[in-house]
Amino acid sequence: MFVHTQDLQFEAKPEAPDAEYANRLQEVLGGKWGEMTVAMQYLYQGWNCRLPGKYKDLLLSTGTEELAHVEMLCTMIARLLESAPLSAQEAAQQDNPMLAAVFGGSNPQHSIVNGGGGYPYDSNGVPWSAAFITSSGNLLADFHLNATAEMQGRLQVARLYNMTDDRGVKDLLKFLLARDHLHQMQWLAAVEELESDGLGGIPVPEAFPVEEQHQEYANKVIKFSDGNAIGEGRWASGQAADGRTRFELADRPEAHGERPVLPPGDPRLYGTPPQTATTGAHSTV
């Protein structure tokens, strides 16, 4: 059961309209790493979690908070669009070159499709996609991805922060930056707790029997590029994160598989037939 409170989690009031910046904010609303993505990702992970208790509670609580962030961004975008000009002529009539420039970068769908509000699209007008979310059923894998999502989201909000001088917008972005920071640390702490609870480890999935792998390929960091500095990293020697593997830097090996030669395809598929080698005299014209 969801219960909605109409008061915002944090204030979302700009100092002045800015249709162009409203479109930029669409990226952290409906883009790949936006609030729509993390809200749906955490909620689906929580709904599908078969382990009742603290991890499920954390997922559902955080996903619900992210829905509040969606609402705040929609509100900010709608307010940035208030009193914004609807045409180039209207912008020019206000005798404000800056306003005309702002109109030039606005999103026509904000007025045509949404009546002056935000929507689940990115800053290029590409619809948000459920393909952006992951709910694998493996909490260790998902929590690592959740930390990445918060890092990417915070990175984009930080870039947006430097693209405006509006103090009201900046105030909201500072709030979102703080929450993204907290959520990064939260998911990394959850990774540590899963491991300490014995509920997963590296590699993922830990339960797959390592003896069924090709062990000769399980510890080598292979130089497939000609850069030599790869050997300077910790990944080139020493203990790996799984506690049982020691890294080894190796040069590019010889190929182990044969060069593939595929048989002729089904003629009903009308592919190009393989060339047939011929012997004898060449034809002349």
Binding-site residue positions for Mn(2+) = 35, 66, 69, 150, 183
Cis status, amide bond into 203, omega within 30 of 0: yes
Measured between alpha carbons, how far is 105 from 232 in angstroms, rounded to an integer?
46
How much of the chain is helix, strand and coil, in % rounded to 5?
50, 5, 45
Parts of the chain belonging to CATH 1.20.1260.10: 19-196
Measured between alpha carbons, how far is 85 from 94 in angstroms, rounded to an integer?
9
pLDDT at 285 over 50: no
User: Mean pLDDT in the chain?
Assistant: 90
pLDDT of residue 276: 61
Paired tokens of 234: 């910790």
pLDDT of residue 203: 93
Least confident interval from 16-20, 29-33, 95-99, 186-190: 95-99
Does this model's pTM top 0.85? My answer is yes
Element (H, E) at 141: helix 139-161
Find, among 102, 103, 34, the residue nearest to 73 by Cα: 34
Binding-site residue positions for Ca(2+) = 57, 225, 227
Say which CATH superfamily domain 19-196 falls into: Ferritin, core subunit, four-helix bundle (1.20.1260.10)
For 128-148, the pLDDT digits (tens) are 999 999 999 999 999 999 999
pLDDT at 90 over 80: no
Binding-site residue positions = 35, 57, 66, 69, 150, 183, 225, 227
For 37-47, the pLDDT digits (tens) are 999 999 999 99
Measured between alpha carbons, how far is 142 from 164 in angstroms, rounded to an integer?
34
